[in-house]
Structure 1
Amino acid sequence: MKKTIYVLTLFILLFTSLQVNAQDILRSKDLSTINVDYLTDSDIAKIDAQLKSNNTTIEQVESMALSKGMSQTEYDKLKSRLNEYAGKSNNNRPKIQENSNDSERKQVKIINEKVKDSANSLIFGSELFDNPTLNFEPDLKLATPMNYMLGPGDELQVSVYGVQEYNASISVSVEGKITIQNVGQISVSGMSVEAATQKIKAAIARVYSTVRSGQSQVSVSLSQIRTIKITVVGGKQPGNYSISSLATVYNALHLAGGPGKNGSYRNIELIRNNKVYKNIDIYRFLTKGDQSDNVSLKENDVIRIPAYSQRVTVEGEVKRPGIFEMKKGETFSDLLNFASGFNEFAYTASVNVVQKTGKEFKVHDINESDFSTYNPQSGDVFKVTKILSRFENRIKIEGAVFRPDYYSYSEGMRISDLITRAEGLKEDAYSKRARIIRLKSDLTTEIVNVDLSAALSGDTNADIQLKREDIVTVYSILDFREEYKVTIDGEVKKPGTYDYFENLTLNDLIAQVGGLTGSASKRVEIARMVKSDVINDADPNRIELMELEIAADNNEQIKNFALKPFDVINIRRIAVYEKPEMITITGAVTYPGKYVLANKKEKVYNIVMRAGGLTSIANLEGMKIKRPIKQEEIEKIENVDLNLSREDTLKEKIKDIKFSTIPINWEKIEKDKNHYSNVTLFPGDEIEVAVYNEGVKVTGNVLLTSEIPYRRGKGFKYYISAVGGVNNKGWKRKAYIIYPNGKADVTKSFLFFRSYPTVEPDSQIVVPEKPETRKMSTGEWVSIGSVLTSLALLIVTAFR
């Protein structure tokens, strides 16, 4: 009987333990009786929710669960079932991006899209509420504020640690109470966190003896902050806002977009319990960084933004122009402080203000001495102008002094004083005369001449007094000298025009230009200008020519000839000076390669013979010369107006042409060496001797581009037919043939007869594309019919 009672008692305890642990596994003192297999899915869901409410995971409570008697096997089963449940929950739940750490204090995220207010952008302070980066949100990572007043919706993290352990997240109910297991309900609404902490500690100490004895400690902190409702009236986006209970006035103003179009920035009212609790002046924050007005908000607070009383405008040379709100008693100095003061170019002696009367505008000038006493009126427009673009004490010296520049002018200053400040005259200074350009009282200029030598020697009459804005010019004797040049051309390394110096000789100039080239002859021609005060009609010579002889192999001449300004020297080229130049022969010759032109009239026949003659596989009809086209020849062709359309690519094709082709008739050359095909070769030419090929290529607008074996006696049509004929774009009557030696022949037509060119082995037949033609529209046909009808009527009328 005793055993039966013991079993029943153990079963009841186990069942009770399962129910308790399913509700709060962290609060149980003994977990040794836990059997995870008996837990339902609902129990697992409750355990998962309890872990999440405490901001913990199953891994973090492992040591605590084992210390309270849970076996490692049961813990592993519980962990496995929790992971399975979490996987199922995540699959059935929409994914939300978490922006904060789970261990941080939480608050409902409030997002308000900012819209740039361009209409009020000039109002001082409006940029504070248009910038999304300035949101004045409370920092949730700070330590728990001890003066924070608790209310319904807050959540406290209550922990007992030491000998006894307890941890729970407890929400403040709508009645303002929290409920702690085994302790009961505690009223905390309206209390500060510090006061609530003391009250909670005292309540727990009555239940937990170790807290009372000091063996365990109690910690209370805010884990989630409640949301309060406030009202903003008079903002750009007025209305009711749900914000953090830690939020301040500036945070609420930012959410509402700041004051409206006519809203005040300096007399904002915070109304609490139907009374004005605080007057907020945003200018204190903007000008001084003073946040004394940025007080915390409470439930049902009202922020009222009344209409402004006075606004003025500041334009021109201040650091922050715009529209500013003024209070009674504030002066222009205060306004200048709001605008961050004058900038570097402001005229500060007085400020112009345009005022509004009841009927019209009026202008008033505020002197600098009145800045601290003048009270701006609503609607005033202050205009700060620039300083004048002139100097009150500037003077300038330029020319042949060591330090030409602007200097400060003082009353009684003389020309000698200025030259002394400019470190004196240079060695090349012209001391007989200096010039002063002076600005007269009527703003016209005059020139005053100065004898520098007399002024610097102590003559007070010559050492005249200077005036503000004088420009003193000291001349240099080098300014009066002509710039002499000499020119050298011909067989020197660096021909050109060079400066002339006294005692310059031909040897000096040849050394300066890098010496003579290897093709220089001993003949030198020097042309010298003729100078005379008398015109001699009998002498037609414009220059004087001189012939000299030099040693071409030595840059130094026997007689060192002295040059004069503007001489032109020509070093002549020796009569015979030809560097070896080459041509190339390729193809079916015995020794292809490069060959030097032995004489100026080297012919094709000579080069072929020097190359060992033609081989047995050479195509006698396939010899040609490829001659490089010079760049200047291409430029000449491009400069010719060919009257081409924009779509025509002929000019682009011309640029791609690198060679011109010269056909060669070798059979004629062998019979007659003077035949025109035996052309004279130029440097860079390439002789191509084709290998005999018995095929005929057919390309262009044909059905099949191919090479057809040559058949004696077969004509042009045969080869076109052999590739399937022309396609729908082919222009058969304009087909042409290119022979192996580069010659070409076209199809000829006379009346209804058409003759095609002869086909030779290794030739190429090309069928071009038909030009695009535009069909006439119905309207064009009608127009032509109308013209013909009119002509017929005229003819009939004429013959009546």
Structure 2
Amino acid sequence: MKKTVAFLFILFVLLQSSTIIAQDLLRSNDLSTLKVDSLNDSDIAKIQAQLQSNNMTIAQAEPMALAKGMPASEFAKLKARLATPAANTNTSINGNTIGGEISRKQEEIINTKNKDHINPLIFGSELFDNATLNFEPNLKLATPVNYILGPGDELQVSVYGVQEFSGNIPVSVEGKVSIQNVGQISVSGMTIEAATQKIKGAISRVYSTVPSGQSQVSVSLSRIRTIKITLIGSAQPGNYSISSLATVYNALFLGGGPGKNGSYRNIELLRDNKLYRTIDIYHFLVNGDQSDNVGLKDNDVIRIPAYSQRVTVEGEVKRTGIFEMKKGETFADLLSFASGFNEFAYTASVNVLQKTAKEFKVRDIKTAEFNSYKPLSGDVFRVTKILNRFENRIKIEGAVFRPDTYSFYEGMRISDLILKADGLKEDAYSKRARIIRVKSDLTTEIVNVDLDSAMSGNLEADIALNKEDVVTVYSILDFVEEYKVTIDGEIKSPGVYDYHEGLTLNDFLVQAGGLTGSASKRVEIARMIVSEQIDDANPNKAELFSIEITPNNNEQAKNFELQPFDVVNIRRMAVYEKPEMVTVSGAVNYAGKYVLAHKTDRVYDIIQRAGGLTSIANIEGVRIKRPIQAKQIEDLQNVNLNLGKNDSIQKSLEKKLKEEVKYATIPVDWKSIVKNQNSSTNVTLFPGDEIEVATFNEGVKVSGNVLLTSEIPYNRGKSFGYYLNSVGGVDHKGWKKKSYIIYPNGKAAVTSSFLFFRNYPKVTPGSQIIVPEKPEVKKMSTGEFVSIAGVLASLAGVIIAILR
């Protein structure tokens, strides 16, 4: 027994020594017995405060601690403990932060809240569905001076100066704080301000330097307690754990706001079984007044009774919905809850649908009754739109300086309206103006006005106007026909132009951009024939004028005056052709582009100008590439192949000519041309043609559906089949009997057959043999074979019967 007591005493002494060392880490002479694992968070906080008060980091304290006998392993543990978030307790001195930002701890409170979908139209329900408006207290704010302390709160008490002390002191369940060397102090039920004075008084009796001012005392709230409150009548009634700094609105938000039939205007806060306050949420919703958002205390009860009156507002107000009314409130109060009428509302009268004991009834509330009519529960107010009409509108359009809509007044006349529109324009037709007037039965009539008389002061002609009249002042330009003249031919900007009186040919040529370089001296002008009578003896449809001009000068000596609808044609010179070229490429001495000097230049002529063929030219490989002309495609489009509406053959041909086949190949028999230049293959060349002379090649290329695409050396006297066999023959898809050959000059030859004999084309050097693919043939099924066999058997039986 004695040994056990001795062991416990020694252990207590060691723990106490560790605590003492922890309280004065820098001043202790022996740190060899310090065990970091035995230090609690409060001891670590004290060491942190000691380092901060000496403006020293843990790294700077390491040599000192090791010199005082502290093991390196223990110092590493201490360094790690100080680096953890738990050790970085913020110490505040007179509101200033030591070690970081001021923060206050609060136990995590988890309350599940569901969005209210029951009555989303009730005014105020959106307040409790907005997650960003939760009324949570800000724990980083300064402690309210009227905050009442209670069990669960924690105070941070610091003494700094000559004497030092720092600690986080919880308020015990008995409502006391226990400060080392000072004793227990009762603070429950006191404000933080009163508790601070009481704690300072107690500390000053122990720390002698406090009364003299050599040391200062700081008391702050480091942890907020959690309180329990009860919600009755909310969307989610029950008991809630909330911060002691929470308010009524925060609690209502957690409870999802009032329930389906809950009141928003008569919420009761019960404290100590008594009505402490009645909360009207409309004060906050309408005016932003948070005077009802009072703080809560432990065991408070928030009771939400059922509503007494609810009404509905529909139509042209800024905020429609369901509103709760208190006794004595009027329609004017309801209108303020709805934020008033919108800009399209009919405000002279509001329709209200009321409910009696037996049925509905309708009532109209005039403007004068807004401040006196008291809505009844269940009223439905309908605010309608103003009429789409004007009480004083009048309109003028046409040849006035300011055509627009103006305000009408009784006694307004046509001259008054014209003066409002800044008067008549110069082109105004003064003999007549038109008024379209709406009669009392909403039909319209036309009233004509003599403007000359009306503007000269004749009251009879100066007609009195009515509201909604539309006055039209005509312009003389409206009666003038729009004249045009046309120019075409060798002019830079041919087209149709506006005619102006006095327009001459010189003017027109300049307006159209001037003559082109190919314009001739001949100009033809066609003019329409105008006559009141038909002259059958005159077969002409137009009158023609032939004029000679100077082509290189737009200013003519004879300036011909044009008339409306004249058509001017500038003729082209009889001979005016720009040089056009062809191209020669391949095995010629001077390849390149050559101008067609003669209209009948042929292949032989151009090749001779290119220096003739070279020694390596393949005389059987001369061909012409002629570009596909747009006209050829257009001709194909105009031909109806009678292939049906849905057949795509013609479209495929057009697409192939446009996108794939850009040239037509013309084979040339050079040997025949050399012997006779009048040979049919010595064709006349067109601009854009390209003469290609192939280089001699002894190989024969074999491609298509063969086993091996290759080029076989030419062997004189060998047949078509020799070259097919040289590449391994035809594959299983190859169609040998349709094989063909393309010669170097672009000419093609196909395989022909007669009875059982097949004649293959002759092979020459540089040619290409192509084996196409067999078309797909659908094979007959077994059922089809059986059907055909049955038919044949039946037919045989009939024939045998006939022969007998």
| TM-score normalised by length of structure 1 | 0.88
Give distance in 2, aligned partners of 1:115 and 1:732: 81
Amino acid at match of 1:675: S
Shift of 1:741: 2.6
Shift of 1:397: 0.8
Give distance in 2, aligned partners of 1:718 and 1:233: 106
Check if 1:672 corresponds to 2:676: yes
Kindly provide the CA deviation profile for residues 471-515 of structure 1, in whole angstroms up to 9, marking residues without a partner as x.
111111111110011001001111111111111110110111111
Amino acid at match of 2:669: N
Kindly provide the CA deviation profile for residues 248-271 of structure 1, in whole angstroms up to 9, marking residues without a partner as x.
111122222222333222222222
Give distance in 1, aligned partners of 2:281 and 2:786: 86
Shift of 1:744: 3.5
2:416 counterpart SS class? helix
In the alignment, what sits opposite 2:382? 383
1:63 counterpart SS class? coil
Shift of 1:600: 2.3
1:334 counterpart SS class? helix
* Contact in 1 for aligned 2:633/2:654 (Cα 8 Å): no
2:545 counterpart SS class? strand
Amino acid at match of 2:23: R
In the alignment, what sits opposite 1:97? none
Q: 2:691 aligns with which of 678, 687, 691?
A: 687
In the alignment, what sits opposite 2:267? 268
* Contact in 2 for aligned 1:18/1:34 (Cα 8 Å): no
Shift of 1:176: 2.3
Could you say if the C-alpha distance between residues 291 and 757 of structure 1 is closer, same or farther in structure 2, counting changes exceeding 3 Å? Answer: farther
Amino acid at match of 2:659: D
Give distance in 2, aligned partners of 1:409 and 1:106: 73
Shift of 1:219: 0.4
1:81 counterpart SS class? helix
* Contact in 1 for aligned 2:395/2:406 (Cα 8 Å): yes
Give distance in 2, aligned partners of 1:768 and 1:234: 90
Give distance in 2, aligned partners of 1:369 and 1:469: 31
* Contact in 2 for aligned 1:590/1:614 (Cα 8 Å): yes
Could you say if the C-alpha distance between residues 772 and 226 of structure 1 is closer, same or farther in structure 2, counting changes exceeding 3 Å? Answer: farther
* Contact in 2 for aligned 1:698/1:765 (Cα 8 Å): yes
Structure 1 stretch displaced more, 661-670 or 522-531: 661-670
Could you say if the C-alpha distance between residues 390 and 767 of structure 1 is closer, same or farther in structure 2, counting changes exceeding 3 Å? Answer: farther
Could you say if the C-alpha distance between residues 85 and 610 of structure 1 is closer, same or farther in structure 2, counting changes exceeding 3 Å? Answer: same
1:250 counterpart SS class? helix
Q: 2:37 aligns with which of 42, 45, 59?
A: 42
* Contact in 2 for aligned 1:31/1:68 (Cα 8 Å): no
Shift of 1:231: 2.5
* Contact in 2 for aligned 1:403/1:423 (Cα 8 Å): yes
Shift of 1:319: 0.8
1:145 counterpart SS class? coil
Amino acid at match of 2:56: S
In the alignment, what sits opposite 1:277? 276
Shift of 1:306: 2.6
In the alignment, what sits opposite 2:659? 656
Structure 1 stretch displaced more, 753-762 or 52-61: 52-61
Check if 1:539 corresponds to 2:538: yes
Shift of 1:211: 1.1
Could you say if the C-alpha distance between residues 662 and 223 of structure 1 is closer, same or farther in structure 2, counting changes exceeding 3 Å? Answer: farther
Superposition RMSD on alpha carbons, in Å?
Answer: 3.6
Could you say if the C-alpha distance between residues 445 and 715 of structure 1 is closer, same or farther in structure 2, counting changes exceeding 3 Å? Answer: farther
* Contact in 2 for aligned 1:27/1:167 (Cα 8 Å): no
Could you say if the C-alpha distance between residues 705 and 49 of structure 1 is closer, same or farther in structure 2, counting changes exceeding 3 Å? Answer: farther
Shift of 1:117: 4.2
Kindly provide the CA deviation profile for residues 588-623 of structure 1, in whole angstroms up to 9, marking residues without a partner as x.
110011111112222111111111011111122322
Give distance in 1, aligned partners of 2:779 and 2:112: 62
Amino acid at match of 2:483: Y
* Contact in 2 for aligned 1:51/1:58 (Cα 8 Å): no
Shift of 1:687: 1.7
Identity %: 67
Which residues of structure 2 form unaligned runs of 5+?
1-8, 87-98
2:319 counterpart SS class? coil
Could you say if the C-alpha distance between residues 273 and 487 of structure 1 is closer, same or farther in structure 2, counting changes exceeding 3 Å? Answer: same
* Contact in 2 for aligned 1:17/1:34 (Cα 8 Å): no
Could you say if the C-alpha distance between residues 57 and 28 of structure 1 is closer, same or farther in structure 2, counting changes exceeding 3 Å? Answer: closer
Amino acid at match of 1:244: S
* Contact in 1 for aligned 2:669/2:681 (Cα 8 Å): yes
Structure 1 stretch displaced more, 626-635 or 139-148: 626-635
Shift of 1:122: 1.9
Structure 1 stretch displaced more, 784-793 or 302-311: 784-793
In the alignment, what sits opposite 1:372? 371
2:418 counterpart SS class? helix
In the alignment, what sits opposite 1:191? 190
Amino acid at match of 2:663: F
Could you say if the C-alpha distance between residues 578 and 35 of structure 1 is closer, same or farther in structure 2, counting changes exceeding 3 Å? Answer: same
Give distance in 2, aligned partners of 1:773 and 1:286: 84
In the alignment, what sits opposite 1:210? 209
Q: 1:707 aligns with which of 691, 711, 715?
A: 711
Could you say if the C-alpha distance between residues 384 and 737 of structure 1 is closer, same or farther in structure 2, counting changes exceeding 3 Å? Answer: farther
Amino acid at match of 2:701: K
Amino acid at match of 2:473: V
Give distance in 2, aligned partners of 1:27 and 1:749: 118
Structure 1 stretch displaced more, 491-500 or 304-313: 304-313
In the alignment, what sits opposite 1:80? 76
Give distance in 1, aligned partners of 2:733 and 2:234: 76
* Contact in 1 for aligned 2:492/2:516 (Cα 8 Å): yes
Give distance in 1, aligned partners of 2:741 and 2:42: 93
* Contact in 1 for aligned 2:413/2:463 (Cα 8 Å): yes
Which residues of structure 1 form unaligned runs of 5+?
1-12, 91-99
* Contact in 2 for aligned 1:24/1:50 (Cα 8 Å): no
* Contact in 2 for aligned 1:703/1:726 (Cα 8 Å): yes
Give distance in 2, aligned partners of 1:520 and 1:202: 118
Shift of 1:240: 2.7
* Contact in 2 for aligned 1:352/1:365 (Cα 8 Å): yes
Could you say if the C-alpha distance between residues 487 and 111 of structure 1 is closer, same or farther in structure 2, counting changes exceeding 3 Å? Answer: farther
Structure 1 stretch displaced more, 421-430 or 669-678: 669-678
Kindly provide the CA deviation profile for residues 504-562 of structure 1, in whole angstroms up to 9, marking residues without a partner as x.
11011011111111100011111100011111112121111111111112111121111
Structure 1 stretch displaced more, 568-577 or 241-250: 241-250
Structure 1 stretch displaced more, 674-683 or 513-522: 674-683
In the alignment, what sits opposite 1:697? 701
Structure 1 stretch displaced more, 201-210 or 252-261: 252-261
Give distance in 1, aligned partners of 2:261 and 2:787: 75
Structure 1 stretch displaced more, 601-610 or 720-729: 720-729
In the alignment, what sits opposite 2:4? none
Shift of 1:727: 5.5
Shift of 1:208: 0.7
Check if 1:28 corresponds to 2:24: yes
Give distance in 2, aligned partners of 1:367 and 1:654: 82
* Contact in 1 for aligned 2:620/2:670 (Cα 8 Å): yes
| TM-score normalised by length of structure 2 | 0.87
Which runs of structure 2 are paired with 1:426-441 in the superposition (5 Å)? 426-441=425-440
Structure 1 stretch displaced more, 656-665 or 589-598: 656-665
Give distance in 1, aligned partners of 2:128 and 2:340: 23
Give distance in 2, aligned partners of 1:361 and 1:465: 50
Give distance in 2, aligned partners of 1:495 and 1:185: 110
Could you say if the C-alpha distance between residues 31 and 757 of structure 1 is closer, same or farther in structure 2, counting changes exceeding 3 Å? Answer: farther
In the alignment, what sits opposite 1:229? 228
Could you say if the C-alpha distance between residues 140 and 764 of structure 1 is closer, same or farther in structure 2, counting changes exceeding 3 Å? Answer: farther
In the alignment, what sits opposite 1:9? none
Could you say if the C-alpha distance between residues 758 and 794 of structure 1 is closer, same or farther in structure 2, counting changes exceeding 3 Å? Answer: closer
Check if 1:307 corresponds to 2:306: yes
Name the count of aligned residue pairs: 772
Shift of 1:64: 9.0
In the alignment, what sits opposite 1:51? 44
* Contact in 2 for aligned 1:248/1:295 (Cα 8 Å): yes
Shift of 1:775: 7.3
* Contact in 1 for aligned 2:628/2:657 (Cα 8 Å): no
Could you say if the C-alpha distance between residues 361 and 735 of structure 1 is closer, same or farther in structure 2, counting changes exceeding 3 Å? Answer: farther
